[in-house]
Homo-oligomer: A and B are copies of this chain.
Amino acid sequence: MAVPPGVSEQDFKRALERFARVVGTEWVFTSDDDVALYKDAYTPLWNEAEERVASAALAPDSAEQVQEIVRIANEFRIPLYPISTGRNLGYGGSAPVLSGSVVLDLKRMNRILEVDERNAYALVEPGVSYFDLYRYIQERKLKLWIDCPDPGWGSVIGNALDHGAGYTMNPYRDHFGAQCGMEVVTGGGELVRTGMGALPNSRTWQQYKYGYGPYVDGIFSQSNFGVVTKMGIWLMPEPECYLDGNIECFGHDDIIPLVDHMSYLMNTGVQNTGTNLQSPLRFALAQDADLRSLLTREDAQAAARLSDVSRQRNVPIWSNTFKFYGPEEVVRAQWAYTKRRLASITNSRAVEGAFYRMPLTDEQKRTVRDEQDLGLPSLGVFSIGARSAFNPTPTTGHLGFSPVIPMTGEAVIQSQRVFSRVLQEAGRDVAANVFPQSYHPRTFVILIMFSVMHDVDANQQTRKLFRRLIEVAAENGWGEYRTHSAFMDDCARAYSFNNNALLHLHERIKDAVDPNGILSAGRYGIWPKHLRRS
């Protein structure tokens, strides 16, 4: 039997017996086969000593049981690693950051406690997935949408706590921003309700965020200090219509005015969501070594040549999908204005896109380009890396390097060149990668995807490259917004202002709210006192 670090086998057995009395023997998992299920299916550490593995897992059914487990863990100093549905693939999944931790699997706590149609919110437990919430709403024919990230099987709470993002309107697409009111069991074992939930019999727990006094909810994101057992989430009333359209550009530097217009439209609410920014030409050059080399050059000639190729082939170097939600007359006016505004970019082209009136028919649900844009949970993203005409070698999983850069065309150009050179030096594909994603209101995330394989050498090379990217990003003032557990310490080191003052603040809060350091050891670089390197 695996045993958590620093815990005697005897103490661990006693603790497991105590846990079993709380959750029932059938919800304490200790067999090798059961515990192996909590490995990270997408781990870049496959079959290496560093691979993160649990010692056991527990599946409580209620906040009260979580509270009892946390108390027992405090007594025996058992490291716990809470997961919601454990679907956080690409970021560590269900595996703990500290090997030997006991996974606190909250999947059984999957109750949808309330959905209010008039005020458009839900109160859920951590085991509730996007699919669960979607089905609940559909079965009751409520006129509400969810906002989900790419895979729909993840936890509504887990994704919000992980600062995840979706694809419908503001404020819903910022999943932590759309949370309102929490119930938390702190590392010290206290059950706290935040915001208006601190008022007994509160009528506005899921409607007013800040409550009275300091606003503490944010410290519970990333799950270092407490186990969130209930959370409110704002939902979007079903809009009457959805409309999208593309603006295509054929000049390399058109990205500069394109992003400026996009910022204006977003920041004034005309385009009240993220956009889908693509470079069709970049993809088209994937097979063309000669032209591909242009992507890493800094000179004006290279930029001019790319513009020429774009125009000659009639393949846009930049394409941006604008999306609008609302009454037909409003979305049509928003798109008309967008087209007129963007027409100032010479030779750009507006291409009409989709228009849907809600509710969607079943046929429409099957054929929409991106289900997530229309509030439909899906698992379609898992086609990434699957065997296909473009990819004869299916991968085990993937991993995203995702630094935050300013939302300007100049930053897109600069970051693409900088990261492309690092990838090129490592002999990696630069064409179909290094892409700005519009996940957040005021910045882009440059997403660089890596395949994860059942191949130790390949994974080690990928990790080495990933660490190099973290360094290069930091040199340029760009940092990751979230990362896979294999790189959490590396990224944390980059956030070093004033001798890592923010990390020290996190540690002070850690020691106060989780005094025995039993929760989520190592997550996002925050270690309990007894495991901290000074």
| Interfacial residues, chain A to chain B (CB-CB below 8 A) | 118-121, 163, 169-171, 176-177, 180, 186, 188, 190-194, 196-204, 207-208, 210-222, 224-225, 234, 236-237, 239, 260, 263-264, 267-270, 272, 325-327, 329-330, 332-334, 336-337, 404-408, 411, 440-443, 474, 476-483, 491-492, 494-498, 500-506, 508-509, 511-513, 523-526
Which of B336, B406, B525 interacts with A213 by CB under 8 Å? B525
Chain B residue numbers with a CB within 8 Å of A269 are 169-170, 269, 272, 325-326
Which of B212, B503, B513 interacts with A492 by CB under 8 Å? B212
Which of B192, B219, B267, B526 interacts with A501 by CB under 8 Å? B192
- Residue pair B119, A263 in contact (C-beta under 8 Å): yes
- Residue pair A480, B203 in contact (C-beta under 8 Å): no
Chain B residue numbers with a CB within 8 Å of A408 are 118-119
Chain B residue numbers with a CB within 8 Å of A505 are 186, 190, 192, 216, 513
Q: Bound complex: CA of A196 vs CA of B440, how far in Å? A: 14
Q: Bound complex: CA of A491 vs CA of B513, how far in Å? A: 24
Given contacts A203-B478, A212-B480, A479-B212, whether A119 and B193 have CB atoms under 8 Å apart is no
Chain B residue numbers with a CB within 8 Å of A216 are 218-219, 502, 505-506, 509
Chain B residue numbers with a CB within 8 Å of A260 are 118
- Residue pair A442, B180 in contact (C-beta under 8 Å): yes
- Residue pair A199, B268 in contact (C-beta under 8 Å): no
Which of B215, B267, B332, B483 interacts with A176 by CB under 8 Å? B215
Q: Bound complex: CA of A333 vs CA of B324, how far in Å? A: 14
Q: How far is the CB of A516 from chain B (nearest CB, A)?
A: 14
Q: Bound complex: CA of A108 vs CA of B301, how far in Å? A: 51
Q: Bound complex: CA of A431 vs CA of B280, how far in Å? A: 64
Best-surrounded residue of A263, A483, A512 (most CB of chain B within 10 A): A512
- Residue pair B334, A330 in contact (C-beta under 8 Å): yes
The complex is assembled from copies of this chain, and their number is 2
Given contacts A269-B269, A329-B336, A479-B199, whether A495 and B211 have CB atoms under 8 Å apart is yes
Q: Bound complex: CA of A225 vs CA of B200, how far in Å? A: 26
Known pairs A198-B479, A204-B404, A270-B330; list 12 more (Cβ under 8 Å): A119-B263, A120-B442, A180-B442, A188-B508, A197-B497, A203-B477, A208-B442, A212-B524, A215-B219, A234-B267, A270-B326, A508-B512
Chain B residue numbers with a CB within 8 Å of A186 are 505
Of chain B, the residue at the smallest CB distance from A116 is B406
Best-surrounded residue of A208, A495, A509 (most CB of chain B within 10 A): A208
Of chain B, the residue at the smallest CB distance from A120 is B267
- Residue pair B212, A220 in contact (C-beta under 8 Å): no
Chain B residue numbers with a CB within 8 Å of A263 are 118-120, 237
Chain B residue numbers with a CB within 8 Å of A169 are 268-269
- Residue pair B498, A406 in contact (C-beta under 8 Å): no
Q: Bound complex: CA of A513 vs CA of B509, how far in Å? A: 7
Chain B residue numbers with a CB within 8 Å of A236 are 267-268
- Residue pair A207, B407 in contact (C-beta under 8 Å): yes
Chain B residue numbers with a CB within 8 Å of A524 are 212-214
Q: Bound complex: CA of A491 vs CA of B198, how far in Å? A: 11
- Residue pair A199, B494 in contact (C-beta under 8 Å): yes
Q: How far is the CB of A172 from chain B (nearest CB, A)?
A: 9
Q: Bound complex: CA of A404 vs CA of B211, how far in Å? A: 9
* 28 A-B pairs with C-beta separation under 8 A: A118-B263, A121-B442, A169-B268, A188-B508, A190-B501, A191-B498, A191-B501, A192-B501, A193-B497, A198-B501, A200-B474, A202-B479, A203-B405, A204-B442, A208-B440, A208-B442, A210-B218, A212-B483, A213-B503, A214-B218, A218-B219, A234-B267, A237-B268, A268-B326, A269-B325, A327-B333, A509-B509, A511-B512
- Residue pair B193, A502 in contact (C-beta under 8 Å): yes
